[in-house]
Structure 1
Amino acid sequence: MTHLPRRDIIALGLMTFALFIGAGNIIFPPIIAQQAGEQIWLAAAGFLITAVGLPVITIMALSRMQGSIENISRPLGHVTSLLFTVVCYLSVGPLFATPRTATISYEIGFSSYFGTSSSHLFIYSALYFFVVAWVSLYPNKLLDSVGHILAPLKIVLLAILGLSAVIVPRELFAPAIGHYIDHPVSEGFISGYLTMDTLGALVFGIVIVQAIQSRGVSDPKLITKYAVIASLISGVGLTLLYVSLFKLGMLSHDIAPNAVNGAVILHAYVQHVFGNLGGLLLSSLIFLACMVTAIGLTCSCAEYFSQLTKISYKLLVIVLIIFSFLISNLGLTKLITVSVPVLSTIYPPSIVIIILSFFWTFWNKPQHVVIPVTIVAFIFGVIDGFKVAGFSKLLPDFIQHLPLSEQNLAWLIPSFSALIICIIIDRYND
Structure 2
Amino acid sequence: MNKLSYKDQIFISFMLFSMFFGAGNLIFPTFLGRSSGDELWLSLLGFIITAVGLPILGVITVARAGSFHTLATRVHPWFALIFPFLIYVSIGPGLAIPRAGTIAFEMGLKPFLPTSFSDLPIMLLLYTIVFFSIALWFSLSPSKLVDRFGKLLTPLLLTLIMVIFIKSIISPLGTFTSATETYQNNPFFQGFLDGYLTMDALASLVFGIVVANTIRAKGVNDSKLISKYMIFAGGGAGILLATIYGILAYLGATSASIGQAENGAQALTIIMNSLFGQSGILLLGVLFTLACLCVSIGLIISCSQYFSNLFGFLSYKGWAILLSLISLVIANLGLTHILAISVPILGAIYPLAVVLITLGLLNRYVNNTMYLTTILFTGVFSILDTLTHLLSLNSLKTLLGQLPLNPEGVGWIIPALIGVILGYLISHFKKTEIVKN
Classify the TM-score, shorter chain. over 0.9
One-letter identity of the residue aligned with 1:41: W
Alignment of 1:30-429 (within 5 A): 30-66=30-66, 68-114=67-113, 115-165=118-168, 168-169=171-172, 171-257=174-260, 259-310=261-312, 311-363=314-366, 366-386=367-387, 389=390, 391=392, 393-429=394-430
The number of equivalent residue pairs is 426
Measure how far apart 1:190 and its partner are: 1.6
Identity of aligned residues (%): 36
Instruction: Provide the C-alpha distance between the structure 2 equivalents of 1:37 and 1:382, rounded to a whole number of angstroms.
Output: 36
One-letter identity of the residue aligned with 1:280: L
Instruction: Provide the C-alpha distance between the structure 2 equivalents of 1:65 and 1:21, rounded to a whole number of angstroms.
Output: 24
Measure how far apart 1:424 and its partner are: 4.0
Per-residue CA distance 1:82-141 (angstroms, 9 max, x = gap): 000100000000010000000011112211112232111100000000001111011111
Instruction: Provide the C-alpha distance between the structure 2 equivalents of 1:184 and 1:391, rounded to a whole number of angstroms.
Output: 30
Match of 2:434 in 1: none
| Segment drifting more, 51-60 vs 2-11 | 2-11
The verdict on how the C-alpha distance between 1:58 and 1:313 changes in structure 2, with shifts beyond 3 A counting, is same
One-letter identity of the residue aligned with 1:403: P
- Aligned-CA RMSD value: 1.7
Match of 1:11 in 2: 11
TM-score (norm 1): 0.95
The verdict on how the C-alpha distance between 1:82 and 1:168 changes in structure 2, with shifts beyond 3 A counting, is farther
The verdict on how the C-alpha distance between 1:386 and 1:167 changes in structure 2, with shifts beyond 3 A counting, is farther
Measure how far apart 1:17 and its partner are: 0.7
Measure how far apart 1:186 and its partner are: 2.1
Measure how far apart 1:233 and its partner are: 0.7
Instruction: Provide the C-alpha distance between the structure 2 equivalents of 1:163 and 1:389, rounded to a whole number of angstroms.
Output: 45
One-letter identity of the residue aligned with 2:337: K
Q: Is the 8 A contact 1:165 1:245 kept in 2?
A: no
Q: Is the 8 A contact 1:337 1:389 kept in 2?
A: no
Measure how far apart 1:33 and its partner are: 1.8
Measure how far apart 1:41 and its partner are: 2.0
Instruction: Provide the C-alpha distance between the structure 2 equivalents of 1:34 and 1:242, rounded to a whole number of angstroms.
Output: 13
Per-residue CA distance 1:288-343 (angstroms, 9 max, x = gap): 10001000000000001111111210001000000000000000000111111111
Q: Is the 8 A contact 1:132 1:295 kept in 2?
A: yes
Q: Is the 8 A contact 1:369 1:423 kept in 2?
A: yes
The verdict on how the C-alpha distance between 1:11 and 1:353 changes in structure 2, with shifts beyond 3 A counting, is same
Secondary structure class of the residue paired with 1:404: coil
Q: Is the 8 A contact 1:256 1:264 kept in 2?
A: no
Instruction: Provide the C-alpha distance between the structure 1 equivalents of 2:102 and 2:405, rounded to a whole number of angstroms.
Output: 33
Q: Is the 8 A contact 1:340 1:388 kept in 2?
A: no
Q: Is the 8 A contact 2:43 2:190 kept in 1?
A: yes
Instruction: Provide the C-alpha distance between the structure 2 equivalents of 1:336 and 1:58, rounded to a whole number of angstroms.
Output: 24
TM-score (norm 2): 0.93
Secondary structure class of the residue paired with 2:92: helix
| Segment drifting more, 198-207 vs 246-255 | 246-255
Measure how far apart 1:354 and its partner are: 1.2
Match of 2:435 in 1: none
Structure 1, gaps ≥5 residues long: none
Q: Is the 8 A contact 2:55 2:201 kept in 1?
A: yes
Instruction: Provide the C-alpha distance between the structure 1 equivalents of 2:299 and 2:422, rounded to a whole number of angstroms.
Output: 37
The verdict on how the C-alpha distance between 1:213 and 1:12 changes in structure 2, with shifts beyond 3 A counting, is same
The verdict on how the C-alpha distance between 1:192 and 1:224 changes in structure 2, with shifts beyond 3 A counting, is same
Per-residue CA distance 1:172-203 (angstroms, 9 max, x = gap): 33333243232322221121111110111111
